[in-house]
Copies of this chain bind each other. A is one copy, B any other.
């Protein structure tokens, strides 16, 4: 079989425990012995067995990732690769590895997570989404297992460490941007309503309208899947209204792409006929035609910070719960039309 610590010990003429200490670079071992042991390890091509280590240690140096239960769909959105990048970068910095949960339904996902937690397969978990009334989050909380959430937990957000954008603010900014440009018929195309991000953005949108004394129109708010097909449906609904909107706040770049392609089909052009600002600013936004004005929510940082918090939480489980807010920034491109002769107050 593989070479073990005992083999090394034998060759170096020391006890196994000594070898273990050499690996940990324990200062209580003399330099001379260390050298001898290291040589033996080299000679035999020794590599520690992680399972044995984890077992003895009760720590795995791996982090679990929980995707939305419909990982298949989620993965089609460039958000996830990017957040994965952030996660992976930080994890690698600290020599943690990643463990991907799989499962098609929420039920299966939960089972998987219970496996991770009870089976001590991971030291902590990053939830890549925040959904209202989520069983997995409830489970983790109840188990008091270290975890962080990307997005804002709806219930008691103060008692759960999470990293998020100020989505309320962001949506408000965007809506105000439109208003400043003279738009008054502004629609909101949001994702699934049980994602917290959606409700946050919706409130921001409402607030901006309210402050500008623009009446809130039920018909101008539509919720669809976080995918491109969704965008298409949305367009159908909105542009069959008596008074279709001139501006769209869209929850996701991909959805915006879908919308634009549908708009194109209908003979409407962006931004002449309808202006669009979407969220996420994934690479596509830059290369669509016309390039999308989009809110950069710094997806990479979301992932990076989430791991950062999680590791803190793992090393000190009693540390308080944090809330990290990653700044956003709307990057202007070519999908917004000015309707008034806006003098740019500022």
Interface residues of A (CB under 8 A from B): 2, 47-52, 54-55, 60, 62, 71-72, 75-76, 78, 80-82, 84-85, 88-89, 91-92, 97-104, 108, 112, 114-115, 118-121, 228, 254, 257-258, 260-261, 264, 283-284, 286-289, 291
Contact = CB atoms under 8 A, between A and B. Distances in A.
How many copies of this protein are present in the complex? 2
Contacts of A72: 85, 88-89
A71 B85 contact: yes
A88 to B, nearest CB: 5
A120 to B, nearest CB: 6
B91 A84 contact: no
A264 B119 CA distance: 55
16 contacts: A2-B120, A47-B114, A47-B119, A49-B120, A50-B120, A52-B55, A72-B85, A72-B89, A76-B78, A76-B82, A91-B102, A97-B99, A97-B101, A97-B102, A284-B284, A288-B289
Contacts of A118: 2, 47
Given A100-B100, A260-B289, 16 more contacts: A2-B120, A50-B120, A52-B55, A71-B88, A75-B82, A75-B85, A76-B81, A78-B78, A78-B81, A92-B102, A92-B108, A97-B121, A99-B99, A228-B287, A264-B289, A289-B289
